[in-house]
Amino acid sequence: MGRVIAVTNQKGGVGKTTTTVNLAAALAVAERKTLILDLDPQGNASSALGVSKEAFAEKNLYHAIIGLVPMSQIIQPTEIDSLFVAPSNNDLTGAEIELVSSFARENKLKAALAEIRNQYDYIFIDCPPSLGLLTVNALTASDSFLVPLQCEYFALEGLSQLLNTVGLIRQNLNPALQDEGIVLTMYDGRNNLANEVVREVRTHFGSKVFETIIPRNVRLSECSSFGKPILLYDIDSKGSVAYLSLAKELIARTMSSQQRTTTSGSPEVNTN
């Protein structure tokens, strides 16, 4: 069964979609079959992979969540053989409103994922920059959550609110939800404040913080506008090297977790 990871931070501009797209691409080139669910109504993950939101106006993630079409019918290939995306557009804004009065509204995405989740090694959910019903659906459907955190002054602002929401999800909807970890993004080593933020986050969260730090890199900013992951745009750039390193670290963590599960003889997670 594939590992479902919600990439979430209600703060905008932290490198969430950049991390989702480029980490997924790095895993795909490492021969891990990977799917991205573009759960942000802005559809930036779809655009960053060169998928036209307009081309799938009648069949996208919105239609799968509300049950009009199976998830398998909306998934699209990308330029990387093992990387796929379930595209979205502004229709998702309406989905959040429609779900409010729905039965079992927090489980809609989990139900839509059930038919395809065992077909992938990794499934990443690119969450919107909020803690609304779409993000609640993502956390309910996921095995773990990954938090991109920018190396800037207000880095920890709002993180406590996210962790409180995760606590409520665990209590009421998904008790097996795990911390995948924190990824430090937008790092500029010349900036004393950035180094201070790194020290503070590592002091507070310890081993939950990935060793790999994603640097500020103009090529990372450019590649999205060309509809390509950084690996296809400039494989030698610092951003590309960083996401390849992050993928390697995530694979190692996943394997270690699976080994512990095998040793203990009990399942690590069960979100069904």
Write out pLDDT tens, residues 69-102.
999 999 999 999 999 999 998 888 877 778 777 7
Range of the domain at 208: 3-264
Task: Please check whether residue 103 lies inside any domain of the structure.
Answer: yes
* Residue 188 resides in a domain: yes
Res 271: pLDDT: 38
pTM of the model: 0.92
Q: Is the separation of the CB atoms in 268 and 179 below 8 Å?
A: no
**116 close to 72: Cβ distance less than 8 angstroms:** yes
**Is residue 271, in this structure, part of any structural domain at all?**
no
Total structural domains in the chain? 1
| Cα torsion 221, 224, 225, 226: sign | positive
The structure tokens listed for 185 are 């993004």
Question: Average pLDDT, stretch 96-109?
Answer: 83
CA distances to 40, 83, 176, 204, 240 from 57, rounded to whole Å, are 15, 21, 34, 44, 31
Task: Give every strand in the sheet of 209-215, ordered side by side.
Answer: 76-77, 83-86, 34-38, 122-126, 3-7, 144-150, 178-187, 209-215
| Contact (CB, 8 A) for 180 and 5 | yes
Task: Please give the average per-residue pLDDT across 132-156, as a whole number.
Answer: 93
Whether 259 is in a domain gets the answer: yes
Is 269 contained in some domain?
no
Instruction: Using pLDDT thresholds of 50, 70 and 90, give the confidence band for residue 144.
Output: very high
Does residue 265 have a pLDDT over 70? no
Q: What's the pLDDT score for residue 186?
A: 94
Q: Is residue 272 part of a domain?
A: no
Distance between CA 88 and CA 70 in Å, rounded?
14
Residue 270 lies in a domain: no
Q: What is the CATH number of the domain that holds 111?
A: 3.40.50.300
pLDDT, residue 264, reads: 63
Over residues 12-31, mean pLDDT = 96
